Structure formats: structure tokens, C-alpha cells
């Protein structure tokens, strides 16, 4: 039997889980005895970092404490602590190292892990997540989209005869995702997914902060400084507003003025209504993409800590016309689903008989969350001029695994080479300016031929996020195969070796 774990590397909180001997997914506590660990890294000195609730409390006070870096995965952002440059990847690696080391204290050495990621993560952000795992010394073979993990947990915890079309509405600290999936027993197929990386609980905290500050100014004429009332203070008001209609802050002082500020649930709801309306639109869009209406949706599953806000359930009810189903632990559902997923992906000899039984009916189909294509010389129908354009080969929403072949033709007499490029985009783009070029290699062609030679391009996307892109010159048989790891890419050199760091 191997030690297999599922990890939810969240914007705000992370969690690690496994299947127990009875085949039930359970959370592995951290060394503080908590189910969830703040995704916050606080550097104590050059080589020591702290990932804990203490670190979380320091987030707005201390210049060497960093959080919410998941929002910047895939971007060129840097953070500096004690003269050392960090990146979203290295900070994520430190969080993963903390989860790994704490878990290993209770279950022993971890053999394999799966990490969850938002369905709308760019491929660069996916790559960097895999790189962070590698830096943390984790053997990660797969990643899984967060909504798939939540649905998996829901499907298994609700009994085996579950079937229908489900929506997973996941609203955490930093991101919002809506996914529509068909579930038949434990067979889960994602048919549409939408999301935004900049919508979540942190934005709600900022709104509460603004509300408190403007009310303080109104009541006292004084400005309220960030040191007196910050996002962390706002977060606790927000949590209380999930239970009560109005909440008062503790006494806040600025200059000679001092006051307790009252925020009502209605004021809070007003302040976030535009963001929630945006989420509602994305839900409608996902249903359109899936070709379903709200009447086709059997149940809406809520995941993510922010779904504890009553206004969210109301919004979901408005869009889908029914009360959503909730987990008592919405912030653990993704991690628990990940534990089921890694067992599903593993060799049965690594599992106990009861673990095997838990996942024996599981079958998961996923869809491509991007458009993949190639650059080719195409006649612009408007101008009649030939220009380089992006041609989509695998569409977003295409069921994975899939194999798609398209024919292209050489454009010049005596052409001796072919540029083989693999592009990726979030929308169906023809303009090369707006696509990300994943690979660009060349295939030599035999000379002395007329233009119009057929080139067959075949993209096969397997369910382990690997895409093989073949460029075949049909007449000569010359072929170039390019392997694109959609989830993980080339490891970039990192300036930081996180093994130099201890994590407390």
C-alpha cells in the first residue's frame, strides 16, 4: 500500500487529504491540529519561513509575510524577504512543503500526490503549480480541476445512484468557478466551465474595509488608517455577517476621534452585488455553453468558504431556480475529492480492498479548457491577402481524450521547411497577437516540389494532460512530433532552492 494524498492548494487556505483504510476520504490535520492551513508564508529570517495561523495574522502587518500569491501564478511577480527574491511558485512550494512535512509526521512518507487547480488556470499557471510541487519534493503525476474534485466528493458522499446534470459553484477567497457536469453514478463528465481569477472572499473583505472607512469618516470626520482597520479585521466582520443581520466593529480610533461602526448584512450585500451579478452571468454563460437550461440542472453543489454567505445561496437560487446543496465543510470538499481522484488514478495494487471499492465505479471525463491550434498562412477573406493566422485544431470544451486531424497545404514552390507551432488561447482567436505559442519547431521538407503539398496536423490530447502534436508531410512521410505537457512544462531554473528553507 502506498501513501497517496490529494492537495487543495488554495488562494487562502490549503488542505491535504487521503483515503483511510475504509476507503473514506479524510483530511490530514496539520501540526496545529487544523484541517485547513492558511496559504500564507511569513519569513522569520533569511532561511526560515512560517506557514500557519500566526503567519496569516501577520499578513497585513509584516513586510516579510506574503499571501494570495496563487492569484499571480503564471505572472512575472516577485516578492522580496531578507534580500531574497521569491516568486508565486517558490511561495506555493513552501506551502506545499509545510503540508507535506506535517502530513508525513502522521502518515509517514508520501509516495504520490495530486494537486487541484482552478479550471480556468492558464497553462503557465498549471506548469508553475507542478514546478512548485517538484520544488517541495512531492511526486505529482496529475492535477485535477477543482470543480471535478468537488463533484467527485459530492458524488461519492451522496451514494452511488446519483445521476443527472450538476453545477458546481465554487467561490473561495480569490477565485470563482462554475462548472456544469453530467454525473451518472460516479461517472463524471464536465461539459462546460467558466470562471474568473479575480472574484472571491478577499474582494468582499475589501468592500467591508471601504464601508467601515467611509462610515467612520462620515461619523467622525477623520480618516481611518489601515493599521487600525485592515482586511483581516474586515474578514471577521464578514464571517459574522453570515450568521447575523448586523455586526459592530470593536472601538476604532483615529486622531482624537473614536467610534464603533455598525455594518448591516444589507449594506454588505449591496456592496458586493455587482460582483455577484457577474458570477450570475458566468453561470448563465456556462449553462449556454453546456446547452442546458436551469430546468435541466438536477442540483447545484456549493464549494469554497465564501459560499457560507447567505446572499450567495440566494443568488444561486435565483439563477438555477432551486436551493443549492451544501457540504458542512465547503472548504474541504475539493481536497477530499482530490483524495478520491488520486486513488482512482493509482495502480489498484496500491490500494486496500475497501479503498478499491470506494473508487471502483469512478470514471471521469474532462474537457479541454483552452483552444489549441497552429499558425498557418491563410487568405484573409476581407482583404484577399495571405497572412499568418491562428487556426484552431482542438476547441475549448472538446471532450478529453481526443484526437483531431486537420489538413494544411504548403504555400510555396520548392518549399524546404515547415514551421510547426502549437498555440493556445482562451478564446477562438485567429489573430496571432492574442495567442500563446507553446512550441515552435521546424520540419525539413524535401525540395523540388510544387506548392500545395498536403500536411496533416494531428493533435491527440490524452487524459493525463499530455498533447502529442504531429506534423506529417503526407507525400514524403516526413514527420515532426511535438509533445506538449498541457499541465506541466519545462522546469525553469529557479533562483531559489526551497530545500534551503525550513518551514515551521
Which of ligand ADP, Mg ion, none does 479 bind, CB closer than 5 to 8 A by kind?
none
CA distance 80 to 129: 20
Our CB check for Mg ion shows the closer of 88 and 172 to be 172
- In the block, cell 512530433 appears at 481
CA distance 290 to 279: 16
The b-or-e profile of 209-245 (16+ CB within 10 A means b, else e) is: bebbbebbeeebebebeeebbebebbbebbeebbeee
Q: Supply the minimum distance, in Å, between the C-beta of residue 266 and ligand ADP.
A: 16
Which of Mg ion, ligand ADP, none does 396 bind, CB closer than 5 to 8 A by kind?
none
Which of Mg ion, ligand ADP, none does 147 bind, CB closer than 5 to 8 A by kind?
none
CA distance 99 to 39: 10
Our CB check for ligand ADP shows the closer of 134 and 265 to be 265
Q: By CB under 5 A, tell whether 74 contacts Mg ion.
A: no
- Set of cell numbers at residue 430: 485567429
Our CB check for Mg ion shows the closer of 272 and 333 to be 333
# binding residues, Mg ion (CB under 5 A): 2
CA distance 107 to 5: 10
Instruction: Say how many CA atoms lie within 13 Å of 327 toward its Cβ.
Output: 27
Q: Supply the minimum distance, in Å, between the C-beta of residue 356 and ligand ADP.
A: 30
Which of ligand ADP, Mg ion, none does 332 bind, CB closer than 5 to 8 A by kind?
none
Q: Under 8 Å CB-to-CB from 154, ≥6 apart: which residues?
A: 162, 166, 168, 301, 325, 327, 333, 337
Question: Which residue has the closest beta carbon to ligand ADP?
Answer: 201
Our CB check for Mg ion shows the closer of 23 and 25 to be 25
Residues in contact with ligand ADP by CB under 6 A are 10-13, 172-174, 200-202, 235, 238-239, 242, 304-306, 308-309, 331
In the range 451-480, which residues lie near Mg ion by CB under 5 A?
none
Our CB check for ligand ADP shows the closer of 117 and 136 to be 117
**CA neighbor of 88 nearest in space, from 45, 37, 125:** 125
Identify the helix (H) or strand (E) that includes residue 125: helix 123-135
Identify the helix (H) or strand (E) that includes residue 433: none
User: Residue 417, exposed/middle/buried by CB under 10 A (0-12, 13-18, 19+)?
Assistant: exposed
Q: By CB under 5 A, tell whether 10 contacts Mg ion.
A: yes
Our CB check for ligand ADP shows the closer of 194 and 331 to be 331
Q: Are strands 246-248 and 262-264 parallel, antiparallel or unpaired?
A: antiparallel
Our CB check for ligand ADP shows the closer of 50 and 331 to be 331
In the range 157-186, which residues lie near Mg ion by CB under 5 A?
172
Q: Supply the minimum distance, in Å, between the C-beta of residue 165 and ligand ADP.
A: 24
**CA neighbor of 398 nearest in space, from 462, 345, 341:** 462
Which of ligand ADP, Mg ion, none does 201 bind, CB closer than 5 to 8 A by kind?
ligand ADP
Q: Supply the minimum distance, in Å, between the C-beta of residue 326 and ligand ADP.
A: 12
Q: Supply the minimum distance, in Å, between the C-beta of residue 327 and ligand ADP.
A: 11
CA distance 419 to 449: 17
Q: Supply the minimum distance, in Å, between the C-beta of residue 59 and Mg ion.
A: 18
- Contact between 404 and 459 under an 8 Å Cβ cutoff? The reply is yes
Q: Supply the minimum distance, in Å, between the C-beta of residue 415 and Mg ion.
A: 50
CA distance 251 to 232: 16
Q: Supply the minimum distance, in Å, between the C-beta of residue 44 and Mg ion.
A: 27
Q: By CB under 5 A, tell whether 118 contacts Mg ion.
A: no
For Mg ion, the binding residues (CB under 5 A) are: 10, 172
Amino acid at each position: 500500500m502506498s501513501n497517496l494524498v490529494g492537495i487543495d492548494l488554495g488562494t487562502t487556505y490549503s488542505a491535504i487529504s487521503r483515503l483511510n483504510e475504509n476507503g473514506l476520504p479524510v483530511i490530514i490535520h496539520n501540526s496545529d491540529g487544523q484541517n485547513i492551513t492558511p496559504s500564507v508564508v511569513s519569513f522569520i529570517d533569511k532561511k526560515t519561513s512560517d506557514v500557519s495561523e500566526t503567519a496569516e495574522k501577520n499578513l497585513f502587518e509584516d513586510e516579510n509575510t506574503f499571501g494570495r500569491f496563487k492569484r499571480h501564478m503564471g505572472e512575472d511577480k516577485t516578492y522580496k524577504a531578507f534580500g531574497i527574491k521569491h516568486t508565486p511558485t517558490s511561495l506555493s512550494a513552501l506551502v506545499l512543503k509545510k503540508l507535506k512535512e506535517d502530513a508525513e509526521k502522521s502518515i509517514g512518507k508520501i509516495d504520490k500526490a495530486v494537486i487541484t487547480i482552478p479550471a480556468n488556470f492558464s497553462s503557465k499557471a498549471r506548469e508553475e503549480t507542478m514546478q512548485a510541487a517538484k520544488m517541495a519534493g512531492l511526486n505529482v503525476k496529475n492535477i485535477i480541476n477543482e470543480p471535478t474534485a468537488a463533484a467527485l466528493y459530492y458524488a461519492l458522499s451522496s451514494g452511488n445512484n446519483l445521476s443527472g446534470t450538476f453545477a458546481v459553484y465554487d467561490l473561495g477567497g480569490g477565485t470563482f468557478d462554475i462548472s456544469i457536469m453530467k454525473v451518472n453514478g460516479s461517472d463524471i463528465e464536465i461539459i462546460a466551465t467558466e470562471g474568473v481569477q479575480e472574484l472571491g472572499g478577499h474582494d468582499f473583505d475589501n468592500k467591508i474595509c471601504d464601508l467601515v472607512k467611509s462610515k467612520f469618516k462620515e461619523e467622525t470626520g477623520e480618516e481611518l488608517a489601515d493599521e487600525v482597520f485592515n482586511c483581516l479585521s474586515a474578514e471577521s466582520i464578514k464571517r459574522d455577517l453570515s450568521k447575523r443581520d448586523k455586526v459592530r466593529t470593536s472601538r476604532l480610533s483615529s486622531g482624537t476621534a473614536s467610534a464603533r461602526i455598525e455594518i448591516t448584512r444589507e449594506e454588505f450585500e449591496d456592496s458586493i452585488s455587482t460582483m455577484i451579478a457577474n458570477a450570475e452571468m458566468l453561470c448563465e454563460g456556462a449553462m449556454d455553453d453546456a446547452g442546458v437550461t436551469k430546468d435541466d440542472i438536477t442540483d447545484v453543489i456549493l464549494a469554497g468558504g465564501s459560499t457560507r454567505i447567505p446572499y450567495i445561496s440566494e443568488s444561486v437560487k435565483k439563477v438555477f431556480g432551486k436551493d443549492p446543496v451544501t457540504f458542512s465543510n465547503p472548504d474541504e470538499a475539493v481536497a477530499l475529492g482530490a483524495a478520491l481522484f488520486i486513488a482512482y488514478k493509482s495502480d489498484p495494487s496500491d490500494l486496500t480492498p475497501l479503498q478499491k471499492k470506494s473508487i471502483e465505479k469512478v470514471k471521469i471525463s474532462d474537457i479541454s479548457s483552452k483552444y489549441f491550434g497552429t499558425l498557418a498562412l491563410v487568405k484573409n477573406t476581407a482583404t484577399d491577402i495571405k497572412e499568418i493566422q491562428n487556426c484552431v485544431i482542438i476547441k475549448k470544451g472538446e471532450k478529453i481524450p481526443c484526437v483531431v486531424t486537420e489538413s494544411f497545404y504548403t504555400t510555396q514552390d520548392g518549399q524546404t521547411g515547415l514551421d510547426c507551432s502549437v498555440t493556445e488561447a482562451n478564446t477562438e482567436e485567429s489573430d496571432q497577437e492574442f495567442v500563446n505559442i507553446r512550441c515552435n519547431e521546424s520540419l525539413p521538407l524535401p525540395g523540388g516540389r510544387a506548392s500545395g503539398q498536403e500536411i496533416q496536423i494531428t493533435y491527440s490530447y490524452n487524459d493525463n494532460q499530455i498533447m502529442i502534436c504531429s506534423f506529417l508531410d503526407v507525400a514524403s512521410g516526413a514527420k515532426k512530433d511535438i509533445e506538449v505537457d498541457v499541465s506541466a512544462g519545462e522546469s525553469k531554473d529557479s533562483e531559489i532552492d526551497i530545500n534551503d528553507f525550513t518551514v515551521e
